[in-house]
Amino acid sequence: MPKQRSVCVFCGSRDGNSPVYAQLARQFGHEVAARNLRLVYGGGGIGLMGIAARAAREGNAEVLGIIPGFLSTEEVAFDDCQLEIVDTLHERKARMAMESAGFVVLPGGIGTMEEVVEVLSWANLGLFPMKTVFLDTNGYWDPFFALLQHSIEEGFTSASISTLTCRAKTSAEALDLLGL
């Protein structure tokens, strides 16, 4: 499947405290499959990562999981997909970006934040101008956007970051925003 038909998802390796997060991840995986897209993700079988990947596979979507070897036990590498084992977290993120047409960010923890902030900084520097859509429920990403706005208002981040960063409430809306 070409990268033009592939979407990369960043999301938590945990489920979160409310069942709404798992529902969102499952629904996202189903929507990816319904659109005949390939899901590119971190390759784990746990948390929202595992839920989204399983849902995509339920709908017969192609799934490419990219996982560093040292995490394959801890993150329970998902074996019902094309699994690529890499050496480092940096390599994982670079490969995920290389294989995808855009990013969707579901709720997640510090690892998810690290991944998305790095791709936003690449976009901000004009290195890798791929669109990033934050898909959330319960306003999960509101504080992140408040911080971004604060940083723009205080003169540390260019307002142009907004052109590459958007928000969606449904999986369909998120994939529409990426033109997928």
- Applying CB under 6 A, the residues found at the interface with ligand AMP are 12-14, 42, 44, 47, 49, 71, 75, 89, 92-93, 108-112, 114-115
Residue 115 CB, nearest distance to ligand AMP (Å)?
A: 5
Q: Which is nearer to ligand AMP, 59 or 109 (CB)?
A: 109
Residue 128 CB, nearest distance to ligand AMP (Å)?
A: 15
Residue 12 burial by Cβ neighbours in a 10 Å radius (0-12, 13-18, 19+): buried
Residue 92 CB, nearest distance to ligand AMP (Å)?
A: 5
**φ, ψ for residue 155, nearest 5 deg:** 85, 20
Q: Which is nearer to ligand AMP, 31 or 75 (CB)?
A: 75
Q: Which is nearer to ligand AMP, 31 or 115 (CB)?
A: 115
Q: Which is nearer to ligand AMP, 43 or 102 (CB)?
A: 43
